[in-house]
Amino acid sequence: MIKGVILSILASCLFGLLYYYPVLLQPLSVVDIFCWRLLTSFPAILVLISIEKQWSAIYMLFYRIKHQPLFLLGLLFSSLLLTIQMMIFIWAPLNGHGLSASLGYFLLPLSMVIFGQLFYKEKLSFLQKIAVGLAALGVTIEIYSTGAFSWETAVIALGYPIYFMTRRKLQIEGIAGTFSDFFFIFLGCLAFFSINYSLDKAINDICHFHIYLPMLGIITAIAFAMYFVARRLLPMGLFGLLGYVEPVLLTIVSVLFLHESVSSKHIASYGLIWLAVCVLALEGGIFVLRALKRKRIR
Query: What's the rounded mean pLDDT across residues 167-175?
Result: 84
Give residue 104's identity as a one-letter amino acid code.
Answer: G
- Per-residue pLDDT at 35: 94
Would you state the pLDDT for residue 78? 94
Query: 67: exposed, middle or buried (C-beta count within 10 Å: 0-12, 13-18, 19+)?
Result: exposed
pLDDT single digits (tens) 104-117: 888 888 888 888 88
pLDDT at 1: 66
Among the listed residues 226, 292, 282, 231, the one whose alpha carbon sits nearest the alpha carbon of residue 109:
282
Q: Which residue has the higher pLDDT, 260 or 295?
A: 260
Instruction: Give the C-alpha separation, 99 to 261, whole Å.
Output: 8
Mean pLDDT across 2-25? 90
Average the pLDDT over 219-237 and give the result. Answer: 78
Residue 93 has pLDDT above 80, yes or no: yes
Tell me, what's the pLDDT at 248? 86
* Share above pLDDT 90 across residues of the chain, in percent, rounded to a whole number: 36
Residue 189 near residue 182 (C-beta atoms within 8 A): no
For 149-162, what is the mean pLDDT? 90
Alpha carbon of residue 49 to chain centroid: 20
Distances (CA, A) of 221 to 44, 93, 203, 291, 298: 6, 21, 23, 31, 38
Kindly tell me if the per-residue pLDDT of 174 is higher than 80: no
Contact by Cβ (8 Å): 157, 111: yes
Instruction: Assess whether the previous peptide bond of 27 is cis (omega < 30° from 0).
Output: yes
Highest mean pLDDT among 2-16, 37-51, 59-73: 59-73
The confidence score (pLDDT) of residue 297 equals 63
How much of the chain is helix, strand and coil, in % rounded to 5?
85, 0, 15
Whole-angstrom distance, CA of residue 165 vs CA of residue 184: 19
DSSP strands (E only) in the chain? none
Task: State the pLDDT at residue 180.
Answer: 92
Helix (H) or strand (E) holding 230: helix 212-233
pLDDT higher than 80, residue 178? yes
Could you give the 3-state DSSP secondary structure of residue 89?
helix
What percent of the chain lies above the pLDDT cut of 70?
A: 96
pLDDT of residue 10: 92
Please answer whether residues 260 and 216 qualify as being in contact, where contact means their C-beta atoms are separated by less than 8 angstroms.
no
- Contact criterion met (CB below 8 Å) for 224 and 16: no
On whether the CB atoms of residues 239 and 8 are closer than 8 A, the answer is: yes
How many Cα atoms within 13 Å fall on the side-chain side of residue 280?
Answer: 29
Residue 90 pLDDT > 90, yes or no? yes
Mean pLDDT of the chain: 87
239 Cβ contact partners less than 8 Å away, ≥ 6 residues apart: 4, 8, 230, 231
Closest CA relative to residue 18, chosen from 260, 245, 219: 219
- Residue 289 vs residue 298, higher pLDDT: 289
Distance in angstroms (rounded) separating the CA atoms of residues 284 and 76: 34
Cβ contact 19:89 at 8 Å: yes
* Rounded mean pLDDT, 27-31: 93
Q: Coil, helix or strand for 123?
A: coil
Q: What is the pLDDT at residue 257?
A: 92
pLDDT band at 218; cut points 50, 70, 90: confident
The residues, ordered by sequence, that sit 6+ positions from 82 with a Cβ below 8 Å of its Cβ are 163, 181, 185
